[in-house]
Amino acid sequence: MATNILVPQLGNEVTEAEITEWLASVGDNVKSGEVIVVISTTKTALEIESPIDGVLSEILANEGELTEAGATIGVIE
Amino acid sequence: MTDALLHKIGGEGPDILLIHGFGADRLSWLALAPKLFQFGTIWAIEYGAHGAAGNDVGDGSLTDLATAIEAKVKKELKSPIIVGHSLGGTLALLLISRGFVVSSGLVLLAPAGFGKTLDISFIRELPEVVDGAAAHELLKQLVVRKNLITKRMADAFVETLENTQRRTALQAIANTLKKATPPPLPPDIPNIILWGDSDEVLSPPLNPPTEVKLLSNVGHLPHVEAVEDVVKAIQTIIDIKSD
């Protein structure tokens, strides 16, 4: 079953984040809790962990892209 | 009146107060704060010349900054655990040592001046930057993994300095810190001090007056590069309080 990787809600004041670095590539096996992507606001960086064990099947936002809080940026199957 | 703003970030329960470092603000806690909602009510203070606070910093001294924080915190928060980063750690020590705030526990992240001078080149240089590229190079000193500091962050910081009152106020703090005496560690309050072993801004003290837990391959921002270690430290302080 596919599980989306989401940009977390960043509070009322921050609505978007930049994809700083993908630490996994499409096709990689990832573990639950493993940091797979780093995002950043204008103030700080946040590490996003894989929610499940699986394979990173899609990257929907590339490094350098701005994404909205709550957006799906990747898929794990 | 010297400026400070207190922000309620989220959570419910015992008060936990976050005090940011020089040049940072409430939003610099974004990676850590949501992970603390399970423990209590999370507050973040912004002192003068930072974030949404105004630019009145008095004479820029630690005392004036701490007095402004006291005015916002003392009536609102009950014996908070204080988490202070860098200059925020120094201010936490001053708030407690002068009796401005009663705290039930301390987690200090690379507290500035801990055991030595407050004359720190990063603090002197930060208010002087005039372009994004220079700011980017300077800010990258904060972390081991350099790509955690983006050009977008640096540009946003330089934009804040386009307000000349903000730049002048930061310069006033930096100038005053050079001559300041670091406050002592309070003897009767449970505390944990965390420090990145690869901190380029402020090296871990060689002969600290108390135990310092070194974090491997972490720079000056443990709350960004070692979030789970900071969460565990806060959990430990809460557990000590509960015993």
What's the length of chain A?
77
At B61-111, the pLDDT tens digits run: 999 999 999 999 998 999 999 999 999 999 999 999 988 888 999 999 999
pTM exceeds 0.90 for this model: yes
B102: DSSP letter: -
Indicate yes or no: CB of B30 within 8 angstroms of CB of A42. Answer: no
Beta strand pairing call for B81-85 and B15-19: parallel
Output the pLDDT for position B227.
96
Output the pLDDT for position B114.
76
Interface of A with B in 18-37 (CB under 8 A): 18, 20-21
Interface of B with A in 211-240 (CB under 8 A): 224, 227
Output the pLDDT for position B138.
96
The DSSP element (H or E) to which B213 belongs, if any, is strand B213-215
Closest to B94 (Cα-Cα) out of B51, B63, B138 = B63
Cβ within 8 Å of residue B30, ≥6 positions away: A10, A11, A14, A41, A43, A44, A46
Residue of B nearest to A17 (CA): B152
Give the Cα separation of B225 and B215 in Å (integer): 10
A45 close contact with B: CB closer than 8 A: yes
Residues on chain A touching B158 (C-beta within 8 angstroms): none
CA distance B217 to chain A (A): 16
A44 close contact with B: CB closer than 8 A: yes
Q: Which residue has the tokens 């992240």?
A: B109
3-state secondary structure of A57: strand
Percent of chain A at pLDDT above 90? Answer: 90
Angstrom CA distances, B189 to B21, B107, B192, B241, stand at: 21, 10, 10, 10
Output the pLDDT for position A19.
97
For chain B, the first-to-last Cα distance in angstroms comes to 40
Indicate yes or no: CB of B30 within 8 angstroms of CB of A21. Answer: no
Residue pair A62/A71 in contact (Cβ under 8 Å)? The answer is no
CA distance A45 to chain B (A): 6
Domains of chain B: 4-117+182-242 (3.40.50.1820)
Beta strand pairing call for B41-47 and B15-19: parallel
Output the pLDDT for position B115.
58
Q: Which residues of chain B have pLDDT under 50?
A: none
Bridge partners of residue A22, in order along the sequence:
A37
Residues on chain A touching B24 (C-beta within 8 angstroms): 43
3-state secondary structure of B167: helix
